[in-house]
A and B are shown apart, each in its own frame.
Chain A
Amino acid sequence: MPQLQIKKSSKQYDVCIVGSGAGGGMAAYTLANAGVKVLLLEAGPMYDPAKNVTQLKWPYESPRRGASTPLRHFGDFDAAYGGWELDGEPYTKKDGTKFDWFRARMLGGRTNHWGRISLRFGPKDFKHKSIDGLGDDWPISYEDVAPYYDKVDKLIGVFGSVENLPNEPDGIFLPPPKPRLHELFIKDAATSIGIPVIPSRLSILTKPLENNSKRGGCFYCSQCNRGCQVYADFSSSSVLVKPAMETGNVDVIANAMAREVLTNDEGLATGVSYVSKDDMQEYVVNAKIVVLAASACESARLMLNSKSKQHPNGVGNSSNVVGKYLHDSTGASMGGILPKLVGRKRYNEDGVGGMHVYTPWWLDNKKLDFPRGYHIEYWGGMGMPGYGFGFGMQNTNGKYPGRDGKQKPAGGYGASLKDDYRYFYGATFGMAGRGEAIAREDNYCEIDPNVVDKYGIPVLRFHYNWSDYEVKQAKHMKETFAEIIDKMGGVVTWGQGSADNDYGLEAPGRIIHEVGTARMGDDKKKSALNKFNQAHDCKNLFVVDGAPFVSQADKNPTWTILALSMRASEYMIDELKKQNI
């Protein structure tokens, strides 16, 4: 008897979904509620924020006071299991270029780590080539997606304000929370120099949703990143996968690392093979439709690793674009201290888990030396202390007069130092730009011919360079931040950029908005998917994560992943009914 056996499931599913994040969760939810029988494969363990609790815990409940570990990169209290490196699951880089790849292996995937910033793409974002000649237009327009954004708003919930801005479409909003004190100062300063600051748009229930008794309202602990016990914020596990499972139409297999999409002699998908992390055995499951939602790069990896006679370049890749046009948001940040906030009165200003105000893109590129825009995120105030609290006091306490009005030498010890921590607490703030990079064919991931992971699956190799466009955008961010900080009477303490460090432009991948690796389009030679996220060369294969994006926009991708996944799922339901698939 051979050592390695492949165990075949006799159960036939309508749809097998790989990945349980925003795209996979929404597909499971939409399909299951239409009576479609779904199998959901997830590469990590089950997770439920009501059971796997870090919310409302105190820093001392973690021996490292919430610091990062190799197993939970964003710290002990963060909901996301995973990090930039996973044990036994390497990725490589080519030609000395950089790309950092964040992976969360767990139910809900990377929706367990994000800012809940839920922005719709605007009309221009789908047709940017027609505006500036760069990249490509999407095969769909804002009007095609708008009804799905509406449905996502109503199903999941998002707060915000109606602003009638040309490229920042309003949604169906819950009421926003009032700004915190530092946010009022930022708003006053920025608006006085022509930079808009409006209520943020986050998928957090400032009011419980009507017709949904399973999710509670926000109780303002500021800890969405820890996962919410009452499901008052969006994460795919609690808001989509759990109710999808309750329909009885969804089976979830956790710790299932997908290896390949299997195809038949006609080139159609027949199912998925995976390795179970629980017993390291090989399994095959069958389905009429395979939906990839493993994250932009992981889905591209699966497609490229699924080679057959009919699909010699990997399934759905006769165009040879799979893996190409990879692009992440640009990012740069700066922060400082607001001297007028030292020695401030204490009160609970936790608020929601994230900023209460933000700056949408506001300028006309015709007057700028770079294409596309960025939005600005803000933070600051009297947060819960954690690992890193008080670090570098010697860089602060010598620069400003103390409580007694006298200047002290930097550093120090004893009662006077102890009081400095109290005195400067809550007076710091920061801001970060998140911008649109141009999708380029020569920024890509591909299969590394020499390296496999611990499951024997060939790994990804990245090749990515920023261009002048992105560097100039970062320069503009830094200039804008410095202007706002100056206007509000703040002092910059970190994040000054210069040409030597590309103005602090973060390495590609760092913003965790990577998209574009199986882009949609009308031309089969230049795109992998059609406008319904369906593979041109394999009609029962769909991709519903960030991979189908033609361009990224200066927005966070999650809300568009959700809308397009719902749209693709409704199309699948329709095609199944018509027996086209």
Chain B
Amino acid sequence: MDRRKYLKSLALGTAGAGLLIQQSCGPKESAAAGPVENKFTIDRTKEELIRENKLASEKFFDEHEMKTITVLADIIIPKDDVSGSASEAGVPDFIEFIVKDMPRYQTPIRGGIKWLDLQCMRRYDGDFASLPSDKQIEMVEEIAYPERAKPEMQPGVNFFNTMRDLTACGFFTSKIGIADLGYEGNKPNQWDGVPQEVLDQYGVKYDQRTLDIAVKFNA
């Protein structure tokens, strides 16, 4: 059976498999959800929906903070030949959500922005987000390299490490970030081992016994 037929049979041939087609459709009510509003495409329990709706109704960062986060995120992950920037991938909104979901981030990021603005006021007489980009980069250079940063820059280094983590995570878990990374899974398929050209590249091969006992797929 060829792959196309196999996947078709997966979708039609078994009781539960029809859902594979259904799952790509838009939002639908979770069986466990009850009357609470559900805009999710993933399973949510009633308790989870209550929590999600509460988080969605809250706002943490103010306009200035969001602007600063957006500038920093796009400095960390800019647009390049392969893909768009952090803000194009929705990273600032992800960071706003995650600090509400995980309050341990709130003080380090809010305080980090304050620290950064104060540094910039002293050096350049302006807050970070309103500086010209060459000055922003000059400031970022001071805090982006933990091993060569000056000791007095340590609060900024910690803040920038957190921003780097959340920006990269938000970017590479977005639609454009996953495409950029080249992750090829998350779809029905057949695993028939490492591609031959990759085995050749690394000079490894499957031994005969492994080939003999492994699950086989009709080509």
Chain A residues with CB under 8 Å of chain B are 45-67, 69, 71-72, 76-77, 81, 159, 161, 174-181, 184-185, 188, 199, 206-208, 213-217, 219-223, 228-231, 238, 340, 344-352, 382-394, 398, 409-415, 417-419, 421-422, 425
Contacts and interface: CB of A to CB of B under 8 A. Distances in A.
A180 B194 contact: yes
Interface in B20-62: 20, 23, 30-32, 40-43, 45-48, 51-52, 55
Contacts of A348: 184-185, 187, 189, 191
Contact of A61 (B42, B77, B214): B42
Contacts of B16: 49-50, 214-216, 228-231, 238
A176 B214 contact: yes
B169 A177 contact: no
Contacts of B169: 65, 385, 387-391
Given A181-B198, A391-B169, A411-B144, A56 B23 contact: yes
Contacts of B213: 161, 175-176, 199
B101 A219 contact: no
Contacts of A181: 194, 198, 202, 204
Interface string B49-92: 00110010000000000000000000111101010000000100
B194 A184 contact: yes
A322 B46 CA distance: 35
A219 B41 CA distance: 21
13 contacts: A56-B187, A58-B186, A65-B169, A81-B45, A188-B204, A214-B14, A219-B7, A223-B186, A229-B19, A347-B184, A382-B185, A385-B169, A414-B76
B164 interface: yes
B107 interface: no
Nearest to A70: B51
Given A51-B31, A63-B97, A181-B194, A394 B173 contact: no
Contacts of B210: 178-179, 199
Interface string B180-219: 1111111111111111011001101010001101111000
Contacts of A392: 165
Contacts of B118: none
A78 B210 CA distance: 31
B13 interface: yes
A385 B178 contact: yes
B153 to A, nearest CB: 12
Contact of B14 (A47, A216, A340): A216
Contacts of A59: 173-174, 178
B165 A60 contact: no
Contacts of B134: none
Contacts of B178: 58-59, 384-385
A384 B186 contact: yes
Report, as a range, how many residues of chain B touch the other chain: 35 or more
Contact of B185 (A222, A387, A414): A222
A54 B187 CA distance: 13
A345 B200 CA distance: 12
B23 to A, nearest CB: 6
Contacts of A345: 195, 197-198, 201
Contacts of B80: 415, 418-419
Contacts of B214: 175-178
Given A176-B213, A219-B188, A386-B173, A421 B181 contact: yes
B104 interface: no
Contact of A69 (B51, B94, B194): B51
Contacts of A384: 178, 183, 185-186
Given A45-B45, A57-B41, A61-B41, A390 B165 contact: yes
Nearest to B164: A393
Nearest to A47: B32
B173 A389 contact: yes
A409 B145 contact: yes
Interface in B118-177: 140, 144-148, 160-161, 164-165, 168-170, 172-175, 177
Given A178-B191, A390-B168, A422-B180, 17 more contacts: A51-B19, A54-B42, A58-B175, A64-B97, A77-B42, A175-B215, A178-B194, A181-B202, A214-B14, A215-B14, A219-B190, A221-B186, A223-B186, A349-B191, A385-B172, A385-B178, A409-B147
B19 A159 contact: no
Contacts of A411: 144-147, 160-161, 164
A413 B140 contact: yes
Nearest to A55: B23
Contact of B76 (A63, A409, A413): A413
A422 B211 CA distance: 31
A392 B186 CA distance: 25
A64 B164 CA distance: 16
Max chain B Cβ within 10 angstroms of own Cβ: one of A57, A63, A398, A418: A418
A415 B171 CA distance: 13
A384 B41 CA distance: 18
A69 B54 CA distance: 14
B14 A213 contact: yes
A146 B199 CA distance: 39
Contact of A57 (B42, B177, B183, B201): B42
A380 to B, nearest CB: 13
B4 to A, nearest CB: 13
A228 to B, nearest CB: 8
A60 B179 CA distance: 13
Nearest to B163: A413
Contact of B43 (A52, A222, A350): A52
B165 A391 contact: yes
Contacts of B17: 216, 229-230
Contacts of A344: 198
A385 B186 CA distance: 11
Contacts of A58: 175, 178, 186
A422 B181 contact: yes
A413 B164 contact: yes
A154 to B, nearest CB: 18
Contacts of A415: 78, 80
A385 B177 contact: yes
Contacts of A425: 181-182
A475 B20 CA distance: 45
A58 B102 CA distance: 21
Given A65-B169, A67-B101, A177 B181 contact: no
A350 B31 contact: no
Given A178-B193, A417-B76, A394 B161 contact: yes
B76 A178 contact: no
A223 B43 CA distance: 14
Given A65-B169, A176-B214, A221-B187, A422 B182 contact: yes
Contacts of B31: 46, 48, 51-52
Nearest to B197: A345
B168 to A, nearest CB: 4
